[in-house]
Structure 1
């Protein structure tokens, strides 16, 4: 979670304090590693002591009597430095993974919060737009004055909230997606997906589609979204992908121009016709050790003649 000036995004992440805490720990680890003092590895520290001893011997012909002490001190200090440097690097990597993991786990909750905020914004928009009536411009609201002017001011504020919610939505979705998913989302955003569901983009007014593609909204588009009941915030990349696929399903039409209905048809099971039992019919006697079974109940009589073809069909 990066620092953001988007009030809606900040409030949405604030609903999951664990994310902010993990991010603060990661940023502190980054600061500690970057400000950690410079040092040398144990190998480099020993090499420096050796080089100094060799240089002294070359100049004076005398080997340093403190070589062992200097080498041991340099090596020990370098081991301690390297141990802390490696620990800080591992802490940064571990906390980065932890922060990303918590953010990924909690992103559905954040997106659900943004969806709730969108519902609040659009509900308030309905009330304000009802007060405006036929007024569709700022000039018209000024001329009308009174409640109409107040309603227009409320819509102006709600329009800013809508822009922030949409920006926060895409920020969260991008932050918890892989590179290939982000590439698809850029394409879907350019097409206008991810803002309405249950409605084909072709059925959305052109000026609203243009706003969704450019992320540049006006009050007229805000009111349309409020009245359409189709606006939503995807709760995950998978939710977004499913709605994109549903909105792009081809529609087949009948010859009369109506959408074809391919719903499965249920054929009722016909009532079985009971078997015909004639006067000469008998019940099979399968077990000779048992009494002869009673004759079956007659429900049909023999015809005097053969049935004709027409009677069969």
Structure 2
């Protein structure tokens, strides 16, 4: 093109040069399309595998959590009332060893909890993720037995997710820690307090039979002196005027008086 603009003539090999450039561009485009398609299919395959195995992954995390809590239970009993590293250092001996053991287990515990929420958020739609964020902010997804009897300072840790050695010791001794294996599993725990016991306070069986009401006496239609029977079929004679059985009220009439 530059040669033509400068001289007014095409170079003798311009067709071959252009064809070669076009062919090379097609090769590059085909490679780019193939890589894009490969990336798309690989991503879909990975997401499909993730979704299919999410229950297994969460079940594995639940088993790993139980192992961590079992290992932490003995150390938690050794701590006694120690809740700070300074107090553990002052106590020394077995108490300090137990604190160190719980500190190491706390890192693994945090990994399990992070993995739990990563998987649940990855395999659920936006609406469910929004609900899970609210439940997590309320402290759900940590224990199965509900939050009503949880000490206030422990519940604060559940809500914040800032796990401490004291919290791990409490959870290990409570025996209630778990990992939800699905959105429905978490929902059951988070909404258990919302369910109403229909039989609460009832003595014996509760009768939920439907109440049968007496039939209503039909009220005859009101027909006035100005009423007319609709003439629906113009090919037939006009119907007779209906016999009046009511008197129009002495007020400005509305559609209710005619229909």
**Common fold: TM-score over 0.5:** yes
User: What is the rounded CA distance, in whole Å, between the counterparts of 1:189 and 1:180 in structure 2?
Assistant: 14
* Cα deviation code 1:161-219 (max 9, x no counterpart): 2222212211222222222222222111111111111x232222211111111001223
Q: Which residue of 1 aligns with 2:91?
A: 144
Unaligned runs of 5+ in 1: 1-51, 253-258, 267-313
User: What is the rounded CA distance, in whole Å, between the counterparts of 1:189 and 1:84 in structure 2?
Assistant: 45
Displacement of 1:264 in angstroms is: 8.2
1:260 aligns with 2:200: yes
User: What is the rounded CA distance, in whole Å, between the counterparts of 2:173 and 2:126 in structure 1?
Assistant: 35
- Root mean square deviation of aligned Cα: 2.6
1:118 aligns with 2:58: no
Task: Please give the residue correspondences for 1:140-289 in structure 2 after superposition, counting only pairs within 5 Å.
Answer: 140-197=87-144, 199-250=145-196, 260=200, 265=205
1:98 aligns with 2:45: yes
User: What is the rounded CA distance, in whole Å, between the counterparts of 1:156 and 1:57 in structure 2?
Assistant: 78
* Cα deviation code 1:94-132 (max 9, x no counterpart): 111111111222222221121112111211222112223
Q: Which residue of 2 aligns with 1:45?
A: none
Cα distance change of structure 1 residues 56 and 140 upon mapping to structure 2, 3 Å threshold: closer
Unaligned runs of 5+ in 2: 207-259
User: What is the rounded CA distance, in whole Å, between the counterparts of 1:80 and 1:161 in structure 2?
Assistant: 50
Displacement of 1:78 in angstroms is: 1.9
Displacement of 1:222 in angstroms is: 1.8
Cα distance change of structure 1 residues 196 and 263 upon mapping to structure 2, 3 Å threshold: farther
User: What is the rounded CA distance, in whole Å, between the counterparts of 2:98 and 2:194 in structure 1?
Assistant: 37
Displacement of 1:156 in angstroms is: 2.1
User: What is the rounded CA distance, in whole Å, between the counterparts of 1:201 and 1:263 in structure 2?
Assistant: 29
User: Does the Cα contact within 8 Å between 1:200 and 1:248 map onto a contact in 2?
Assistant: no
Partner of 2:179: helix, strand, or coil? Answer: coil
Q: Which residue of 1 aligns with 2:77?
A: 130
Partner of 1:203: helix, strand, or coil? Answer: coil
Task: Please give the residue correspondences for 1:6-155 in structure 2 after superposition, counting only pairs within 5 Å.
Answer: 52=1, 55-155=2-102
How many residue pairs get matched? 206
User: Does the Cα contact within 8 Å between 1:122 and 1:226 map onto a contact in 2?
Assistant: yes
Q: Which residue of 2 aligns with 1:294?
A: none
User: What is the rounded CA distance, in whole Å, between the counterparts of 1:171 and 1:210 in structure 2?
Assistant: 21
User: What is the rounded CA distance, in whole Å, between the counterparts of 2:127 and 2:156 in structure 1?
Assistant: 25
Cα distance change of structure 1 residues 81 and 156 upon mapping to structure 2, 3 Å threshold: closer
Moved more, 91-100 or 140-149: 140-149
Cα distance change of structure 1 residues 201 and 249 upon mapping to structure 2, 3 Å threshold: farther
User: What is the rounded CA distance, in whole Å, between the counterparts of 1:165 and 1:130 in structure 2?
Assistant: 22
